[in-house]
Each structure stands twice: as structure tokens, then as C-alpha cells.
Structure 1
Amino acid sequence: MSKLLMTRRRFLATTGCSVAAAPAMTPMAFASAPWDTRLVVLILRGGMDGLDVVRPIGDPAFAEARPTLAAGDGLPLDGFYTLHPALAPLHPLWEAGELGFAHAVSTPYRDKRSHFDGQDLLEAGTGFDVTTGATRDGWLNRMLQHVPGLEADTAYAIGREDLLMLAGAAPVANWTPGTRLDLSPQARRLFEMIYEEHPVYQAAVLEALDLTEDIAAAEAAASAEDDDGAMAAMMAEASGNGAHMEMAEFAVERLRGDTRIAAFSLGGWDTHGKQATSLPKALRQLSDVINVMRIGLGPLWGKTGVLAMTEFGRTVRENGSHGTDHGTGGLMLTAGGALRGGKVYGRWPGLDEAALYDRRDLMPTEDVRAYAARAMEGLFGISGNVLSGKVFPGLDFSQAPRIVL
């Protein structure tokens, strides 16, 4: 290949395997998106129990189905639902209209209740069985394919695992927590010498190094400007100050700049036993992430929408281990100043046994993809024809509520 044909982006993409430990070495470039709004998508891996997170205490069958898990007081929402106490730090967002939920939602996935298949279908965003190879790209990437002129850093896949949701033909940048490039001046000079006779290659490497230094400088500046200490306090109180906080901080850093879409996943939602102990830990991490983004984005929070989605819900009845098993209908969380919060969306199907799916699970009454479609339509101006024809093939979201202000 002629070095004239080796562009900087292609160089960074083809060298990513050998220097994957450095965020600056992912395929990225700088370009402004055609919109100023932001979207963050959180995948809650493991199957979050939406019936415990947003509790339908107004349904008389709820307490009967959950003799231990339904006990205790939740935070008031709308009279029919209460909020799990572990999400207390987010309750002010509900009162401010910046936190909402969609209940009894699901993907088209049914019956097998496999984490892997359920997550693949959630991220593919299609009605196909992705395990057959019918599709291997994701709904966020398909949306990006229909926005001309975007560069890689418009969207970020964040974390140590692949995100099918952002896989596809559109350029996307990647970053893994805990992987910073730290080169001495001597090492930098070595890079310059190695590529001295190949100026295109050399420019690409030096651009990557400069980007890493800019990121570090931005982090230091953000820390210095945090006058009221809100972010520092949030970090100090976070559960273990783990990877979820690193990912949230990095998302904030990029969303303050040219990035418009960030996606990452949070684990810990598979609560087969001792749910009253394990679920609060996962909820506190989710709360940490959302509040870090709210504080860190500042005025940009008013232009931001956050969608937290899970592969399926859990059984209505608690099991003998005081947990819940894999189910069907679940819960979606929305946050951000750009979205209509202060409301639990969705048509409640009831918890009487005859109303349950397969006489065991919450019956889905809305496709979770419909809310994602409404978010992209309202935030980015993506047309309904593109959303229902290309991004979510065959999806009819005409009856879904408009969740963007």
C-alpha cells in the first residue's frame, strides 16, 4: 500500500491491536456533530429486577408475590409506584423532572431467558435472532450510518468488553478504563525517529500522543475548577471508586467536547439469591454514574439524555433464596435535563396470575426500542422512516410517548 493512501485514521485503526492499551490509539478524529445534544446509553447486564427498583405497591398482587422483597418503605413517586431506597440520591432528579422510568418493557426476545442472547438482541436492536448471524451490527451504529460527515470521536464505546450496540460500519472510538499512555520525552523522541522517513505515519503517532496529553490536562483542569467540591465528594463516597466511576468520568470528559454519544455497561444485576443485599450495590453504582454525569456536565446536562436498559426483567414471584429468576417484562430508566422525567411511562398490565407472561413474568406492554427511537428522534432529529426502516427494522413506535423536551 502506498504511504499516500495510508491516511491517519486508517493508520490508527490498523495499529490499534499493538497499542490497544492507550486510549489515544483508538481510531478517532475530531469533528463536530450536526447537533449539540448528547445521548448516554447504559447497558445493565444481568437482568435488572424492575419490580424491585420501581415498586408497583398500588397493585394488590405485588405484596403477595414478594413477601420479603416487597417489605419496607420506598421513596414516593406517583402514588402507585415507589422507588427503591438505594436510588435515594436520584430522587431529587425525579422531583426536578429529570428522572423517569418506563415499566413493562422488553425487546422481542422471549422464552429462552439467556443472558447472552438477550443482551445481543438488546444491542442489535432487531427482531432477528442474532445468534443465527442475521445481523452483527448495533442500533446506535446504524443510526450513525445515516448522519453524514461524522468522525470516530462523535461516539464512544467505553469499557473492557465489546459493545455490539456501537459495532458496524460507522466510525466509533473506544476507551478502556485504567489504560493511560505515559511516555517519557525519550520515548516520544524514539517514535519521531522511527517514523522520520514516513511523515504521514509520524503525524498520526504524534497526534495520538498529543491527544493523550490533552486528556490528562483536561482532567487536571476539571479537578482544579471543582470549587464546591461536589465531584470530589461524589468520588469519595462512591462504591469502591471502581471502573464504573472511571467510565463515567471519561464519558463526561468526552461529552464536554466533540463527543455526542457515549455507551458503556454496568454489571451486577443477576439477583437469583439474597436480592435485598445484592441489588442495592448495583443501584448505588448506577446512582453514582448518573450523578457524576449530572455534576460533571454542568450546563450540558440540560442537553443530555441518559437511557439505562437491561436485557430482560425477572420473575414476579420471589424464589426460595429470596431472589428472583430470569423473566421477561422489565424496566428502563431515563435521566437528563433533555428528557421528560417525573413520570413512570408504560401501560401497567397487572400482576394477577392470568395477566402474567407464561403465568410467571411481568407481561411486556411496550417495546423498549420504541423509547430509544423516540430519544434519537427528539435529540438528533433522526426521521421516523430511518428509525423504523434502518435503525430498528420493522419497529412501529408511533404510539410510544415523546420523551424528549
Structure 2
Amino acid sequence: MLTRRLFLKSTALIGCSAAAHPLMSTATFAGAPGENRLVVIILRGAMDGLDVFQPYGDPDLAALRQTLSLGPDHGATDLDGFFALHSALSPLLPLWNAGQLSFAPAVSTPYRDKRSHFDGQDMLEAGTGTDLEIDSQQDGWLNRLLQQMPGQDSETAYSVGVAQMRILRGAAEAKSWTPKVNMDLSPQAELLLTRIYHDDPLFREASAQALEIVAGLSPDLPEAKRGQEHLELASFAANRLNGATRIASFSLPGWDTHAGQARGIERSLTRLSETILSLKADLGANWDRTTVMAMTEFGRTVRENGSGGTDHGTGGAMLMAGGAVRGGRALGDWPGLAEGDLYAGRDLMPLRDIRAYAAWAMHAKFGIPRAALEGAVFPGLDMGSDPRILA
């Protein structure tokens, strides 16, 4: 079976591209008691939260970024006098104004310092509290959640993709289905595989091999369908959620922006915006009972690099949307961007474990006891105070 990790090794690449741009967006679905719906979107590649929710009110931002995250004077939309929304997410402004969109600006998993996409994504999906033995954690937090929910119907739990997402792996039964594989690298991925490695003979050859593999894996899709996979996935997820399914999870790739971030993140944010609005439209009345949580494996450096991009960091942002969300606000505190406020002198300091927001949502939506969430579902988690993210 061709996995993301095997793809990376087989092409001799030790960089980011394969992990940040997997072979396809996988998806999982599960039934649960009640009418509340949950959608978890994994943003693979480490989304730059500082560029999505731009803290233009922080006096230290301007010295750190010259072309990125510059606020309302450069096309972003002011949200609250401190944060501004990236222009590519402007179609979501009606959700913000309606109280159906919010974000947490300084969050992370417990993963620290190694900054590997593979390990960071594995920890995000496993929901563990340690990065020492990621490979030994065989199950995912959504699967452990299902084990805590009486009446969960395993017949409605599926994994769609080349391999089952770790987030649904575990004792709760789930079926899997493998469709045709689609590999469509984003512009920044091709940039990484060509220009950045151009002067290195080993990596230049590996890049060429990788692109050949990509071309061989791409199916003969109609041209009109290319670039629309996220919309088809959102529509399929909504169709399931309008039936017996209550929990859906899938991934959107394309967030690794080491170079040319302005172009790359605009494309990815457009896809995210379209995905959320497609869910809203297709869910109809069920949107009012839906919570969408978009998470990424880690953030990016606060300093813009010389290639107009950002590198792997620590603190990042989490987006929440849906009719069940108490939106129109930023959740949690802001750590600041002064030199002494940064993590390791280079990254946004995370102020809250991203798992805590997921756990409080599970508590509110499905009535899972706090003890079970801090023990069985998210081992080692201290949920802290209730952020009251749901209406």
C-alpha cells in the first residue's frame, strides 16, 4: 500500500512536500446518538495562522513581516480592531457577522521542536499528550470518542482514502473504501520540488522522480473536475451528515508555504472557504446543529523568510464555524510578538492545547464526561476552563 511516508522515502526526499501534500484527502464518517453534527477538517502542511487571522494590532508585527499579514490597509478585513481576516476568507464574513465563525489564535498540540509534518499530523490525529512514542499510539481520538458514546452505530463509520486516517483508527469498528487515487500537487509543492532543490544534484533528481510518480498516479479526470475535489468531498460529507452520520472528518492539503506564501495560502484559503460554504449550503437546516473545527499540525515562524514564505513553527490557529458555534470573536488570550514573548525566540507562543477546544466541543455536543475526555479520549489533557465555544 502506498502511504505518505513510503512515498517520501521512495523518492529520497527528506523535505516537507509529501507530508504537506498527501496523495489524496481522506475522510471518515461515524454515526452517533442525537442530532448534533461535528466536522473535523485536518489542514495538512501547517497553516500560517498569523496570515489567516492577522494580528495587525500587535505593534511588533510590522518588523517581523514585510509582505505578509499586513492587515486592513493591504486587503484584509478588520474583525475586532486587533485581528483582520485574510482576503481569501472574505466569503466567510457573513458567518462571522452572524456569530457562526470564530477562531483561537495561539494553540498547538503538545508536539514541540522537531517540526516534522508526519509526526505533527500523527500527534494531531492521535490526540496524545506526548511526542516521545507517536508510532506506538495505534488509535486516534475520534475512534476513542466513539467508544465513549453509547448507541454509536459502527455500520455508519467509514474511512475513505488510500489508507484509513489515524484519527478514526482503533477498537470502534470502521469500514474502509479506496477510490481512484488523485495526486494533484499544489503550486508551492512543485516549487519546492523544482526550484529549491535545483542546485542540489541529489534532491534535483529526487524531485524529478517525485513529479513523475505524481503524473503516473493522477487518474484521467475530466478537466472540469480537477481542482474541485474539495467541493465533491464537502458535498459527500454533507449528504452523509443529512442521514445517519453525525461525525465527519477529512483533510485538505496545501498549507506548507516555505516560499511564495501569498499565492499559495490564497489558493488554500479559497478552498477552505468554499468547503465550509458548501457544507453550509448542502446541510440546510442541519447547519444549525453543526460544528466545524479546522485544525493544523503546527504553526509557522513569526518571521517572514527571504523567499516570501514562512518556515515550520509552533503556535498556530484553529478555525471554528457552524450554526452551533458562538462565533464573532477570538477565543483565548494573545501572547504577543515581542522578542521575549516568542517560543524559542522564533515562533508564536501557544497559550492553550488545541485538544482542549476539541474536548469542550465533545462535552457540549455529545455529553461526554470531562473525566473520560481527559483520560480515555485525550490522554494527559487538562481541559482547563470552559471556553464556551458552542451556542
* TM-score, normalization by structure 2: 0.78
Cross-structure match for 2:144: 142
Q: Distance in 1 between matches of 2:82 and 2:244?
A: 41
Which structure 2 residues correspond to residues 3-402 of structure 1 after superposition, within 5 A?
33-71=32-70, 72-129=74-131, 131-175=133-177, 240-402=226-388
**Does structure 1 retain, via aligned residues, the 8 Å contact 2:123–2:134?**
no
Shift of 1:128: 2.5
Greater gyration radius: 1
Identical-residue share of aligned pairs (%): 58
Shift of 1:33: 3.0
One-letter code aligned to 1:318: E
Cross-structure match for 2:208: none
SS at match of 1:351: coil
Cross-structure match for 1:194: none
Q: Distance in 1 between matches of 2:132 and 2:154?
A: 25
SS at match of 1:101: strand
SS at match of 1:334: strand
Deviations 1:154-181 (A, max 9, x none): 44444444311111011234455669xx
Q: What are the ranges of 5 or more consecutive residues in structure 1 without an aligned counterpart?
A: 1-25, 180-237
Shift of 1:34: 1.8
Shift of 1:396: 1.0
Deviations 1:119-175 (A, max 9, x none): 000000011336554311000100101112322244444444431111101123445
**Does structure 1 retain, via aligned residues, the 8 Å contact 2:28–2:249?**
no
Shift of 1:35: 1.4
**Does structure 1 retain, via aligned residues, the 8 Å contact 2:295–2:317?**
yes
**Structure 1 residues 160 and 291: CA distance shift in structure 2, 3 A:** farther
One-letter code aligned to 1:284: T
One-letter code aligned to 2:325: L
CA RMSD of aligned residues (A): 2.1
One-letter code aligned to 1:255: L
Shift of 1:27: 12
SS at match of 2:39: strand
One-letter code aligned to 1:41: V
Shift of 1:85: 0.1
One-letter code aligned to 1:61: D
Deviations 1:270-298 (A, max 9, x none): 00000001100000110111000000000
Cross-structure match for 1:4: none
One-letter code aligned to 2:365: L
**Structure 1 residues 339 and 304: CA distance shift in structure 2, 3 A:** same
**Structure 1 residues 153 and 81: CA distance shift in structure 2, 3 A:** farther
**Does structure 1 retain, via aligned residues, the 8 Å contact 2:295–2:318?**
yes
**Structure 1 residues 339 and 130: CA distance shift in structure 2, 3 A:** farther
**Structure 1 residues 64 and 161: CA distance shift in structure 2, 3 A:** farther
SS at match of 2:82: coil
Deviations 1:85-109 (A, max 9, x none): 0001111100001111011100000
**Does structure 1 retain, via aligned residues, the 8 Å contact 2:56–2:83?**
yes
**Does structure 2 retain, via aligned residues, the 8 Å contact 1:177–1:246?**
no
Equivalent residues, number: 320
One-letter code aligned to 1:260: R
Deviations 1:372-398 (A, max 9, x none): 001111111111111011101121113
Shift of 1:73: 2.7
One-letter code aligned to 1:304: T
